[in-house]
Chains A and B, each alone.
Chain A
């Protein structure tokens, strides 16, 4: 079948050739040559460039006809076409579209040939070849002429202006005039302008488009004649060039400044990310440049098209790069003076954008920029290394001594904190790194590395570089939390186990806060004698020796020797009138790392409490001493029986007064002592122990200890608010001590009298004469003594009661709720309140 088909075709072609040749030159050779030529063309296999759709072609033909003004022809054609296409069955044409297409093209060509003298008007007819778009026949001049006319004639493609045939001539002439005008105005071809714009967008001045410093932009020179529309278009496209210049300028500036260490790692990362984006941009520009010198390939020779790339096409291509470049320029502007974490925070603010293109872009950029920052966080949290040459991290370290490492060694720098890391997270980061450094420096512990590895494994990242990136703030937070948990726990364990923090606290409580009663008693006994001397005569070595002996004689000797070694005597700086009592104190020596908790100021506070407690003890000790002398014994009772009359009465009454006063004072001191012991010291200690159990990290521990000390100070009237009261209290103590001396003197006097009277009994035989005389004198002396003593005691009693009253009156005014307990104890029977009321 193929062969017969071929034969049919050849026959038909022969026939066609015969027909087509002009009649007069109908020779054999001619026709053979023509035949050969025909066959050549046949085999060239040209294909039409449009789709196989006969109704579309028919439509376009109709439109053409209408535009020409032959509307009746158009109707006829439509009619015919309908009938033509409805023909089906044997004998009908199968390839209808081919026929229609054929007719169309042939008619066009004919028209083109016919009207080839008038160059313009032919352009208005839709060319089938171009797929329905208008084209112009202007010979070799292509360029913006066609384009400007193009968009004038765009109406042809779409619904068409209905022109009446009569005005066709007028239109044609107007258009030819316009074309001449345009040609005059445009010196420059569009292709050249396009290339210039492409150069401008890379920051290079083109032939016509140059950078104008005054206007701060790329402009077409004033002297060049182009239409205003073109000028504006060029200006708009060159905005991209301006933005590009800005971004590139920033990058090169930063790169230049790099050796002077002003830019920082984050700035460098930013520049690198920008350069990557710019390389994408360069790629696009290269493609566009390649395009700009290619024409569109076409079939018919008479119809030319210009460059593929026109200004308008360029503006479409530039839409996306323009948006990106604008974004980059905005970022560059906002980051010009920022560095480090600040820069990351500022860029992050810009990333809060709804447009998905912008979000994607910013996420890429931020991932690169924040990688040095995240790296720094990671190494700080997992290794405690502060790897920050350019001071961009938000944790600042300063070289300090070992004992203040925890409190002052590191702190947060809020300026460098980027906005996507919250304040609490930053605190945790700081604490974790601080703990690692603390462990490494102060505790000489290496176990934290395991904890760090565990933490990293738990979260899923590694301890190597590059585990985290921007946008994974959650992952970072999880890592920090895990690391913090483990390292804090490790630190607490080290503090409790290796350094026996709890035991040290307990030791301090027992010695400095006089918890170990028997030890204090022995100390007081041994040291009390010494301390009555003036302060500058006391030697601290002797006191140290006494301390040692009192330790050895009490239960304290069974305590851990490490703690006992740290206990020593401290003599405070004293003036001239001070007694030993004023300057004596005990001190507990704590070393690294414990002196993070027991700093100088903390130990100072312990000292104050010790002083107070020591004074209290001293007063108690004094009163007990008086009690010892006051106990009824043979001497006094003997004295009692021997005397008679006034002296006896006086004696009895003095003694009684003494005892009563002693009782009062004892009651006061005992209750105060018990209050301090049970309500203040023990309660605070119990709270502190609970909090120590619950403490999760060193900060918690420090806070708990602070609270403990503060509450002790407040409750024992040593705080700032209780200064008046503590002065009253110390006045009372002084009175009590004075009483002691008086009582001692009284009893001493009595004993002396007794001794003086004694020889009268024992040596009755020998000195009988003296006794009579002595007796009278004795009575007189006794009377005097008792009188004096009585007066003194009265005075002391009065003073004491008034001071005590004042003290108790002021107690309810205190704001601390526990002082009410003191009042309750002292005034249990409301004796003093009633006394006051009666007055």
Chain B
């Protein structure tokens, strides 16, 4: 049963990674998995988008 779950999860992640590649989002596999986990926890995707956009930009502002 656990094996099944693990396999399903891996396949889903693979598919999602393929899709994100097609869409050219620039997200790597690990980041994507974290994002997916956060989505599943119920966080708003809009928020996550904001995070993804803002955080890299934040850095140049900081000393």
Write the residues of chain A forming the contact surface with B, with a CB cutoff of 8 angstroms: 5, 8-9, 12-13, 15-17, 19-22, 25, 30, 33-34, 37-38, 41-42, 44-48, 61, 65, 70, 73, 76-77, 80-81, 83-84, 87, 89-95, 98-107, 109-111, 299
Contact = CB atoms under 8 A, between A and B. Distances in A.
A402 to B, nearest CB: 94
A87 B12 contact: yes
Contact of B24 (A22, A80, A102, A111): A111
A47 B46 contact: yes
Nearest to A35: B55
Which one of A37, A76, A91 has the highest number of Cβ atoms from chain B below 10 Å of its Cβ?
A91
Given A87-B12, A95-B40, 9 more contacts: A9-B41, A41-B50, A46-B44, A89-B8, A99-B16, A99-B36, A103-B25, A105-B46, A109-B49
Given A41-B51, A89-B5, A104 B41 contact: no
Closest 4 CB pairs of A and B: A91-B5, A107-B23, A91-B8, A98-B39
Contact of A102 (B6, B8, B28, B45): B45
Contacts of B47: 41-42, 44-46
Which one of B7, B11, B30, B36 has the highest number of Cβ atoms from chain A below 10 Å of its Cβ?
B36
A12 B37 contact: yes
A76 B18 contact: yes
Nearest to A104: B23
Given A16-B35, A20-B52, A37 B8 contact: no
A250 B45 CA distance: 61
Contacts of B11: 83, 87
Contact of B31 (A19, A87, A101): A19
Contacts of B4: 89-91
A20 B49 contact: no
A12 B31 contact: no
Contact of A21 (B15, B49, B55): B55
B56 A106 contact: no
B5 A38 contact: no
Given A33-B62, A37-B55, A80-B15, A48 B38 contact: no
B39 A93 contact: yes
B5 to A, nearest CB: 3
B12 to A, nearest CB: 5
B56 A22 contact: yes
How many interface residues does chain B have, given as a range? 35 or more
A73 B24 CA distance: 11
Nearest to A92: B8
B36 A93 contact: yes
A494 B40 CA distance: 99
A92 B56 CA distance: 29
Contacts of B30: 19
A128 to B, nearest CB: 10
Nearest to B26: A110
Given A21-B56, A34-B55, A102-B35, A95 B42 contact: yes
Contacts of B16: 84, 93, 99, 103
B15 A92 contact: no
Contacts of A91: 4-9, 12
Contacts of B49: 102, 105-106, 109
20 contacts: A16-B34, A20-B52, A25-B59, A41-B47, A45-B44, A45-B47, A76-B22, A80-B22, A83-B11, A92-B12, A93-B16, A93-B39, A98-B39, A98-B40, A99-B39, A100-B19, A103-B20, A109-B49, A111-B24, A299-B46
A344 B6 CA distance: 85
Given A16-B31, A92-B8, A8 B36 contact: no
A48 B54 contact: no
Contact of A42 (B25, B40, B43): B43
A77 B17 CA distance: 11
Given A16-B51, A90-B1, A98 B45 contact: yes
A8 B55 CA distance: 20
B62 to A, nearest CB: 6
B38 A106 contact: no
A73 B23 CA distance: 9
A47 B45 CA distance: 8
Nearest to A89: B8
B39 A95 contact: yes
Contacts of B28: 19
A5 B38 CA distance: 10
Contacts of B35: 16, 99, 102
Contacts of A94: 40
A48 to B, nearest CB: 5
Given A42-B43, A90-B8, A110-B25, A22 B53 contact: no
A37 B34 contact: no
A106 B8 contact: no
Contacts of B6: 91
A89 B59 CA distance: 40
Nearest to B35: A102
Which one of A30, A34, A61 has the highest number of Cβ atoms from chain B below 10 Å of its Cβ?
A34
B5 A101 contact: no
B39 to A, nearest CB: 4
B53 to A, nearest CB: 6
A30 to B, nearest CB: 6
A83 B27 CA distance: 21
Nearest to A9: B41
Contacts of B20: 103, 106-107
Contact of A30 (B9, B41, B48, B59): B59
B34 A61 contact: no
Which one of A19, A77, A101 has the highest number of Cβ atoms from chain B below 10 Å of its Cβ?
A19
A508 to B, nearest CB: 107
A299 B46 CA distance: 10
A17 B55 CA distance: 8
A94 to B, nearest CB: 5
Contacts of A92: 8-9, 12
A121 to B, nearest CB: 16
A82 to B, nearest CB: 9
A99 B55 CA distance: 19
Contacts of A87: 8, 11-12, 15
Contacts of A83: 11, 15
A506 B49 CA distance: 113
Contacts of A22: 56, 59
Contacts of A38: 51, 55
A109 B57 CA distance: 13
B26 to A, nearest CB: 6
A16 B39 CA distance: 12
Contacts of A12: 34, 37-38, 41
B19 A81 contact: yes
Contacts of B56: 20-22
Contacts of A95: 39-40, 42
Contacts of B19: 77, 80-81, 84, 100, 103
B54 to A, nearest CB: 7
B38 A9 contact: yes
B42 A106 contact: no
A8 to B, nearest CB: 6
Contacts of B8: 87, 89-92
Contacts of B42: 95
A9 B37 CA distance: 9
Given A38-B51, A76-B18, A109-B49, A16 B38 contact: yes
Nearest to A299: B46
A824 B43 CA distance: 124
Nearest to A44: B47
A41 B38 CA distance: 14
Given A22-B59, A25-B59, A109-B49, A37 B54 contact: yes
B7 A101 contact: no
A73 B20 CA distance: 11
Contacts of B40: 93-95, 98
A302 to B, nearest CB: 10
Contacts of A102: 35, 39, 45, 48-49
